[in-house]
Chain A
Amino acid sequence: GAVVSQHPSRVICKSGTSVKIECRSLDFQATTMFWYRQFPKQSLMLMATSNEGSKATYEQGVEKDKFLINHASLTLSTLTVTSAHPEDSSFYICSAEVLGTEAFFGQGTRLTVV
């Protein structure tokens, strides 16, 4: 299957700082990328949908000014958690897909805000 690379896999940051997470589709061009958040023992919750060259569509309850998404090309999307707080600590996962096919997930990023 296709490969989606997500970086970093783990990050620890201080409260109030910003963290950028990258999601790259390595061997295909993704029409759409999705960002999810997963708390322990819970399911994946969609945060936003990102199409190349256009603004991301955020799910209800997700602050777009706090979770900045940039989708600069068909192979790269970034999520920046701004002014991170301990409650933002979570597992963040991206997925990429070509319309009508399965979604391929990145390895996930474990964010810990201290």
Chain B
Amino acid sequence: GQNIDQPTEMTATEGAIVQINCTYQTSGFNGLFWYQQHAGEAPTFLSYNVLDGLEEKGRFSSFLSRSKGYSYLLLKELQMKDSASYLCAVRVLRSNDYKLSFGAGTTVTVRA
């Protein structure tokens, strides 16, 4: 199976920056995704990394180091609406198909 670890909770102030780390141990790695999920809703796509390095998309950036099995999601200029759960997911190639394995999620609370 895949071991995907991320912190359970983080709290930050509006306007600040928060970095959510994710470590994974897997074989057949085929990309790492970050999703945002508000309570009771389905996840929405934030970012995708398959090669090492930083991907920037507006206020959100994601970094990947495949050799270290490590990724982070950086949220800048935090807004109240960014309060949500952030899911790290690893896509793994299997013999006949592939699957996404999710971490337990990091609940980010943004305070005024």
A106 to B43, CA, bound (A): 8
Q: Is the CB of B45 within 8 A of A104?
A: yes
Whether the Cβ atoms of B97 and A93 lie closer than 8 Å is no
Candidates B45, B87, B96, B97; contact of A44 at CB < 8 Å: B87
Q: How far is the CB of B107 from chain A (nearest CB, A)?
A: 8
| B40 contact set on A, CB distance < 8 A | 91, 108, 110
- Say whether A51 contacts B104, CB under 8 Å: no
Complex interface: chain A residues within 8 A of B102 (CB): 43-45
- A 32-87 contacts with B by CB, 8 A: 32, 34, 42-46, 49, 51, 57
Count of A-B residue pairs with CB < 8 Å: 45
Total B residues in contact with A, Cβ cutoff 8 Å: 19
Q: Separation in Å of the B45 CB from the closest CB of chain A?
A: 5
Q: A34-B99, A46-B101 are in contact. Are A108 and B42 (CB under 8 A)?
A: yes
Contact with A along B83-112 (1 / 0, CB 8 A): 000010000000011011111110000000
Q: Across the interface, do B100 and A42 meet the contact criterion of CB distance under 8 Å?
A: no
The answer to whether A105 touches B105 (Cβ under 8 A) is no
Asked if A15 is at the interface of the complex by the 8 Å CB criterion, the answer is: no
CB closest chain-A residue, reference B105? A43
Determine the distance from Cα of A95 to Cα of B80 in the docked complex, in whole angstroms: 27
Using Cβ atoms and an 8 Å threshold, which residues of chain A touch B96?
Answer: 57
User: Beyond A43-B102, A44-B102, is A106–B97 a contact (Cβ under 8 Å)?
Assistant: no
Q: Determine whether B25 belongs to the interface, using a CB cutoff of 8 Å to chain A.
A: no
Give the residues in chain B near A51, CB-CB below 8 Å.
Answer: 97
Report if A89 contacts B (CB, 8 A). no
Question: Is the pair B41, A108 in contact by a Cβ cutoff of 8 Å?
Answer: yes
Residues of A within 8 A of B44 (CB): 105
Apart from A44-B87, A51-B97, A106-B42, 9 more pairs, CB < 8 Å: A6-B42, A43-B87, A43-B102, A43-B104, A46-B99, A49-B97, A95-B100, A104-B45, A108-B42
Query: Which A positions have Cβ atoms within 8 angstroms of B?
Result: 1, 6, 32, 34, 42-46, 49, 51, 57, 91, 93, 95, 102-108, 110
